[in-house]
């Protein structure tokens, strides 16, 4: 469904840029791409997902327990299996079978309930949203499935703008259309109304919404990061794949908000197993970091990431950063947990 009033123009220059980047990546080893990156170590990891010897774990989401931040929960996807729930020590709390899920996000709604939404690619011709409710005990209860529009479900993120009752979900199927779905609960459960917000020329995935500035950030994997107006669909390329700050594929996106419009935007620079950090609201480059081997393993070829700068108890007192680990031998893929304050300190030291 086309949203009225949006003019989508082709960006031929970016297509040429993409071809040039692809050629460069084909001829230059990934290890020599990308600018300097500081290193930090993980302070925890989840147990591996149940699907072994495959690309399975993908994207995490964090629910912060306001009464006891150390008792917060992590929801993570196994693309071949379903949704896992972990505690901050990485122990599995529950599992909900639902093959075909990819990205996941969550939001607090009425009466203290937590709504979990995942992109559902089990129907490759039509993107869907898979809904579940997360209990404080770590259990997930299915809450419905909503059709979005043509395309294979892939990227996803949630916004709950101030003063609006609806939960707004942005979907980024592989084909490049960006959808905006307003979800509301009625007597018969959750229902959604979808409009078409914008388009990118090639495959997107990474997605994070900043309701403070009405900005949606979308990662077009071989091109870079777009900032898209959540209402009009107008877009601008704020961080191109340049093999310095970003190495294709651009995968997960996350933000650490500060004040009215400040903070940080973080992207998974999958091509060289690093993470790129940009200062908001100007989206200016700050630096890059990697999670190196320490008490827990390093992270490599990261898909989804998640970030929350608030207090999560003694283990993560000044913020929590979570990254999917795409290479975790001899075990299956999992998620690594790092301290956000240590990441910031390392970046500041490097300046």
Helix H segments across the chain?
12-27, 340-350
Mean pLDDT, residues 43-50 = 97
Residue 162 to residue 148: CA distance in whole angstroms: 24
The four Cα atoms 313, 319, 325, 330 give a dihedral, to 10 degrees, of: -30
**Structure pTM?**
0.90
Q: What is the pLDDT of residue 188?
A: 84
- Is the backbone of residue 223 left (phi > 0), alpha (psi -120 to 50) or beta? alpha
**pLDDT tens readout for residues 138-173:** 999 999 999 999 999 999 999 987 667 789 999 999
Average pLDDT, the chain: 91
Mean pLDDT, residues 241-254 = 97
φ/ψ of 76, rounded to 5, equals -135, 150
Confidence check: pLDDT of 10 > 80: no
Helix H or strand E encompassing 22: helix 12-27
Q: What is the pLDDT of residue 183?
A: 95
- Is the backbone of residue 263 left (phi > 0), alpha (psi -120 to 50) or beta? left
Question: What's the chain's Rg over C-alpha atoms?
Answer: 19
Confidence check: pLDDT of 92 > 90: yes
Residue 133 to residue 150: CA distance in whole angstroms: 26
Confidence check: pLDDT of 249 > 60: yes
Instruction: With beta carbons less than 8 A apart as the criterion, state whether 85 and 30 touch.
Output: no
Confidence check: pLDDT of 6 > 70: no
Sign of the alpha-carbon torsion through 57, 198, 34, 264: negative
Nearest to 25 by CA among 200, 206, 250: 250
Of all residues in the chain, what percent carry a pLDDT higher than 90? Answer: 85
Task: State the pLDDT confidence band at 342, using cuts at 50, 70 and 90.
Answer: very high
Least confidently predicted of 23-37, 246-260, 316-330:
23-37
Least confidently predicted of 16-25, 55-64, 81-90:
16-25
The four Cα atoms 208, 106, 57, 51 give a dihedral, to 10 degrees, of: -160
Q: What distance, in Å, lies between the first and last C-alpha atoms of the chain?
A: 47
Q: What is the pLDDT of residue 163?
A: 67
The domains found in the chain, sorted by start residue, are 12-28+58-286 (2.120.10.30)
φ/ψ of 69, rounded to 5, equals -55, -30
Confidence check: pLDDT of 130 > 60: yes
Residue 252 to residue 285: CA distance in whole angstroms: 17
């Amino acid at each position: 469904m086309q949203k009225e009033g949006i003019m989508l123009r082709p960006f031929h220059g970016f297509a040429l840029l993409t071809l040039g980047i692809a050629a460069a990546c084909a001829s230059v080893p990934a290890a020599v791409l990308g600018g300097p990156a500081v290193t930090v170590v993980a302070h925890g990891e989840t147990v591996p997902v149940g699907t072994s010897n495959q690309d399975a774990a993908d994207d995490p989401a964090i629910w912060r327990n306001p009464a006891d931040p150390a008792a917060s929960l992590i929801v993570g996807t196994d693309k071949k299996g379903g949704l896992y729930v972990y505690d901050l020590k990485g122990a599995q709390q529950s599992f909900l079978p639902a093959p075909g899920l990819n990205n996941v996000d969550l939001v607090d709604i009425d009466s203290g309930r937590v709504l979990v939404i995942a992109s559902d690619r089990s129907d490759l011709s039509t993107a869907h949203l898979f809904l579940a409710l997360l209990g404080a005990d770590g259990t997930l209860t299915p809450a419905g499935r909503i059709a979005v529009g043509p395309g294979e479900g892939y990227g996803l993120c949630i916004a709950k703008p101030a003063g609006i009752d609806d939960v707004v979900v942005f979907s980024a199927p592989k084909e490049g259309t960006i959808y905006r779905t307003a979800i509301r609960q009625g007597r018969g459960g959750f229902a959604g109304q979808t409009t078409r917000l914008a388009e990118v020329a090639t495959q997107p995935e990474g997605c994070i919404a900043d309701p403070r500035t009405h900005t949606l950030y979308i990662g077009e994997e071989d091109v870079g990061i777009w900032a898209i107006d959540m209402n009009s669909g107008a877009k601008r390329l704020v961080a191109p794949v340049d093999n310095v700050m970003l190495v294709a594929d651009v995968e997960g996106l996350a933000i650490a908000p500060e004040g009215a419009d400040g903070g940080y935007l973080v992207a998974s620079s999958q091509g060289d197993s690093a993470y790129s950090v940009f200062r908001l609201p100007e989206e200016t480059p700050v630096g890059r970091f990697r999670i190196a081997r320490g008490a827990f393993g390093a992270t490599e070829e990261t898909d989804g990431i998640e970030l929350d700068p608030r207090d999560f108890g003694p283990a993560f007192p000044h913020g929590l950063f979570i990254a999917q680990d795409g290479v975790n031998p001899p075990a299956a893929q999992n998620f690594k947990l790092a301290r956000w304050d240590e990441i910031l300190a390392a970046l500041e030291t490097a300046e």
